[in-house]
Structure 1
């Protein structure tokens, strides 16, 4: 669809749903092809999600060998009802057109937890406590009332994680291991390491995961009692997966360092809410999910740089490696050994895209 045709479709969708002649105001984009616009008619506001079906989308769940898939707003619609039933404060859907990739949703405003933290560093413990308590709410629902067979959600196994980490090998490793023979050995030993480590992710069972649970996707939203709820957005990739995955996403977010002391305190609070958890299994599962999430993020950074020209995420790479290695010696010695052998400290910095060109030339020779 041409740009003019797309705009005509948007105008028609807005007109049919009571927002005629309202100029959408673009919001800051993220790392996906989805775009968001705020609508304001002077009495109320709403958000327009624009996710055209011909956009490039990446399979979030590791289902397909080729991760690039047709875009769809269907997951947004499907997960809204489920997570609301589980007790989460989710934006309501006012209208949608799946064929066009357009959704009109409730506007939670602009006060993300990230912005609240920028306004007051002192609010950090309280905000993160709210976020952890939301995970406890969801996971207690999963443990007592959730029927996974009827949910329609993807259920992760080790193969899903292996496919998610293909991008780490294909899009990121060539940036830092430019010698083809060395990279081939590193990948072979990486795959062998995953066979040992990945099963540890499930040592504490499985629950519904948001899959991108961090302070950018949490918001302070006014409620009818004059207080504030923890609103949750960007949940369309929800799945059934290892229990600690979202907790790791929150507490070991590459963009927001909360410190080891607060991390451990919040992890303790989560653990205490589930009397049947084994602590050693929980810690090993937490560490294994941390490995998966941060290797996946490194692959995404490489993909965004090469395919979309977005290099601003390279600044986070050194911290990503620090998080992967945190407690690895104790919980995942196989992981620590692989990194120590193949990824020296100087390779854990932000790479130059020139490395990619050199790698391609070596592979073609």
Structure 2
């Protein structure tokens, strides 16, 4: 962090109740945002998101207000300077779902079904005032796989994107709000709260209105932790029944949206390594690939599977090592 940014951070805090608090850096995420924690008299998290690299914090603030109005637990915002890119937030602690389940695997089903209750709550509400992520945009967003994971000529990439869009077309429906990065590391258990408010929500600033299956896919096809096939199947069936959806059609949609999401993640992780100096994301690529292949094995996707696997490189040792090297043309 630059000396100027440090100065700006202290200047912001000087006007808050945390002027004298000591903030300790936390592990960052895939973005350029940084986070700090204080265990002072008023525990809190400082989000440091320089607008020139992270964009505006207004989407985070707006979504926090939207979720809170639904009775859900977004972090309370104690202080803000949107122009400079600083927020002081409620600290949900370290009990994210992934950590809790690692310590006690018997909790997995109850926590995951609580998370799915949150998804239903959002889907049942009026959509948020966020960007649409419709079928053409879902398909075009897969270009990252063909730009960064396995670079392809424009003609081949466009043929693949058209095939993905054609496969998604039957699932066109009214778009509903998705928090988008809805997975175990972004969900915290708040045991002193009740109902859906027991699930603390983070990392929702990229929320969109898209296919209703998107957050369920994000939760059950988690690139950072295993979710058993049996549980995923049970969760899908329960979800479809509760929403009154045709079982087979929803299964087809789920697998296809999972393919879309993980194609994009392959490209994101490759870009994070080669262009943003974060090669540790390459370590996750073999798992993303396994998830992608598992969903492509769904019988109705056989044609798309053959087309994609003909142009995507398997993540063998040589390819992973190439992805770890900085892109010298950037």
Fold similarity call, TM over 0.5: yes
Q: State the TM-score, normalizing by the size of structure 2.
A: 0.90
The whole-number CA distance in structure 2 between the counterparts of 1:339 and 1:218 is 32
Alignment pair present for 1:349 and 2:326: no
Ranges of 4+ aligned residues in structure 1 off by more than 4 Å:
183-186
The within-5 A match list for 1:31-70 is 31-41=30-40, 43-55=41-53, 57=54
Does residue 229 in structure 1 map to residue 198 in structure 2?
A: yes
The corresponding residue for 1:90 is 74
Aligned-residue offset at 1:164 = 2.1
Cα distance per residue 1:131-190 (max 9 Å; x no partner): 11211222223xxxx1x4xx421111233224422221111113xxxxx7xx56642431
**Residues in 1 aligned to 2:31 and 2:66: alpha-carbon distance in whole angstroms:** 23
8 Å CA contact 1:189–1:338 kept in 2: the answer is no
Q: CA deviation at 1:28?
A: 0.8
Deviating more after overlay: 118-127 vs 328-337: 328-337
- Report matched runs for 1:23-38 at 5 Å: 23-38=22-37
Asked if structure 1 preserves the Cα contact closer than 8 Å seen for 2:143 and 2:157, the reply is: no
Kindly state the Cα deviation for residue 5 of structure 1 after the two structures are TM-superposed.
1.9
Change (3 A) 1:216 1:135: same
Aligned equivalents of 1:210, 1:50: Cα separation in 2: 21
1:133: which partner in 2? 117
User: What runs of 5+ residues in structure 2 fail to find an aligned partner?
Assistant: none
Per-residue displacement from partner, 1:239-292 (whole Å, max 9, x unpaired)?
Answer: 1100111100000112211111010111122112112x2222212221221111
Aligned mate of 1:165, from 112, 134, 142: 142
Q: 1:319 aligns with which of 279, 283, 287?
A: 287
RMSD: 2.5
Matches within 5 A, 1:1-365: 3-41=2-40, 43-55=41-53, 57=54, 71-141=55-125, 146=126, 148=127, 151-174=128-151, 186-202=156-172, 205-223=174-192, 229-275=198-244, 277-328=245-296, 329-343=298-312, 347-349=314-316, 351-354=319-322
Change (3 A) 1:342 1:360: farther
